[in-house]
Structure 1
Amino acid sequence: MNKRFALAAAIAATVLSTPALAQSQFDPDRATGPAKGLPVTDTPTAGKVFVLGEDVAQLGSARDFVTQAASSGFFEVESSRLALDRSQSDQVRSFARQMIEDHTRVNQQLATLSRAQGIEPPMQPDATFQQKLTQLQGLSGNSFDRMYLNEQVTAHKQAVNLFATAANSTAADMAPYQAFAAQTLPVLRHHLQEAEALAGTGMPTAAR
C-alpha cells in the first residue's frame, strides 16, 4: 500500500508541475507578436523598440556592443565587396553596393562615437565572420549568391537584435549609444527585408 501511495504521489507531482513548465517555454504556434515564431520582449510604446527572441544579443557592457556591431559591420562590407566581384546577378550586385555604402557609413559613425568614449573598435570581422568570408571566397555564381544572401539574412537578424538591445539598454555606459542604435535600426530592418526578398526570389538561390 505504501508503494502504491508513493507512486501515485509521484505521478500527481509530475502532472501538477507540467503546466508551469509549459508556460515558461515559448510556443511559436501561439505567437501573437508581429513576427510569428519570434517572441517580443518589449512593447511598441514611445521611445521603445522591438527586440526579437531569435539570437537576442547579450550585452554586458558598451564595449560588447561596440565589438559586436563593428565586427558585423565589417563583415557586411567585406562580404558585399566579394559579391561585386563574384556575383553575376544585377540584383545581388545592386544590393551589395547598397550594403557597402550604408555599412561603411554606420561603421564610421560607430568608430567616431566609441573613440569619443575611450573604446577602440575592432577594424576587422571576428573569427566567426572571417570563416564565413573564407567560405564565400571559395564560391562563385549561384553557389556564391545562395550563401551570400543567406548570410545577409542571418547577419541582419542578429544586427537588428543587437541594435535593438542597445537602444533599450538601461546600463549607464550604454547611454551614449542608445540614440545611435535607435537611428540605425530602420536601416538594418530595411536591409533585412531586402535580403529576405532576394533570397526568396528563386533567381539567386536556384540550383545550378
Structure 2
Amino acid sequence: MLRRTAMTTLSAAALMPVLLRAASAQTASGSSDAQLRQRILAASTFSLTSSEMALQKAQAPAVKTFAQFEANEQRATMQAMKIAGIPMPAQVEMDAQKMQMTQQLRGLDGAQFDRMYLQGQTTGHQELLQLHQALLASGTKEEQVIATLSVASIQQHIAMLQAMA
C-alpha cells in the first residue's frame, strides 16, 4: 500500500508541470478568446452604427437596402450570442479609427456618405471575416457555431459591397 501511494505521489509530481502548463494555456486562451470577442463586438458595433446612419443618410437605394440587411444581421448575431450564453460586456467601445469614421460619416450626406459608408463596410467586413475565422479555430463550441454562420454571411456581404463600389 505504501508503495502504491508513493508511486501515485511520484506520478502526480511528474505530471504537475504538464498540468500547470495546460491550465496556464487554457487561461491564456480564455483571455485571448475574450479579446477576440471584444474585437468582434467592436467591429459589429461599428457596422451596426454606420448602417443605422445609412438608413437615414444614404442616397443610393442599393446602399440603403444593404444597410437594412446589415443592421438586422448585426442585431440578430448579437442576440444569438446572448442566447448561446456567450459572455457579452455591458458596453462595447469602438477603437479610435472606427470612432473617427463614425464621426466623419455623421458629417456627410448623399453620394459622399455612400462612398465612405461602402469603404468602411468593406474594411469592416474584411476585419470581421478574419476575426470570425480566428474564432472558428479557437472559440468555444457555441462561438464556433456563431462564427460558422457569420463567415458565410460576411463573405456574401463582401461580394455585395464589391459589386456596389
**Interval containing the TM-score (normalised by the shorter chain):** 0.7 to 0.9
Q: Tell me which of 68, 80, 93 is aligned to 2:64.
A: 93
What does residue 84 of structure 1 align with?
Answer: 55
Structure showing greater relative contact order (alpha-carbon pairs closer than 8 Å, 6 or more residues apart): 2
Question: Does the 8 Å CA contact 2:45/2:92 hold for their aligned counterparts?
Answer: yes
1:118, distance to aligned residue in structure 2 (A): 4.7
Change (3 A) 1:175 1:196: same
Question: Does the 8 Å CA contact 1:72/1:159 hold for their aligned counterparts?
Answer: yes
State the percentage of identical aligned residues: 26
1:93, distance to aligned residue in structure 2 (A): 0.5
Q: CA RMSD in A?
A: 1.9
Pairing 1:184-199 to 2, within 5 Å after superposition: 184-199=150-165
1:111, distance to aligned residue in structure 2 (A): 3.6
What SS does structure 1 have at the residue aligned with 2:92? coil
1:175 paired to 2:144? no
Change (3 A) 1:118 1:79: closer
What does residue 7 of structure 1 align with?
Answer: none
What SS does structure 1 have at the residue aligned with 2:140? helix
Q: Tell me which of 134, 142, 150 is aligned to 2:103.
A: 134
What SS does structure 2 have at the residue aligned with 1:82? helix
Q: Tell me which of 65, 68, 75 is aligned to 2:46.
A: 75
What SS does structure 2 have at the residue aligned with 1:61? helix
Could you list the structure 1 runs, at least 4 aligned residues long, displaced by more than 2 angstroms after superposition: 110-113, 116-128
Q: Residue deviations 1:155-191, cap 9 Å, x none?
A: 001111110111022xxxx223122211221111111
In structure 2, C-alpha distance between the alignment counterparts of 1:108 and 1:158, rounded to whole Å: 21
In structure 2, C-alpha distance between the alignment counterparts of 1:99 and 1:164, rounded to whole Å: 19
TM-score in terms of structure 1 length? 0.60
Structure 1 letter corresponding to 2:110:
G
1:147 paired to 2:113? no
Pairing 1:3-82 to 2, within 5 Å after superposition: 61-82=32-53
Change (3 A) 1:162 1:194: same
Change (3 A) 1:93 1:185: same
Change (3 A) 1:130 1:90: same
Structure 1 letter corresponding to 2:146:
F
In structure 1, C-alpha distance between the alignment counterparts of 2:74 and 2:35, rounded to whole Å: 19
Pairing 1:85-124 to 2, within 5 Å after superposition: 85-113=56-84, 116=85, 118-120=87-89, 122-124=91-93
Question: Does the 8 Å CA contact 2:59/2:110 hold for their aligned counterparts?
Answer: yes
Question: Does the 8 Å CA contact 1:65/1:162 hold for their aligned counterparts?
Answer: yes
In structure 2, C-alpha distance between the alignment counterparts of 1:75 and 1:69, rounded to whole Å: 10
In structure 1, C-alpha distance between the alignment counterparts of 2:87 and 2:66, rounded to whole Å: 34
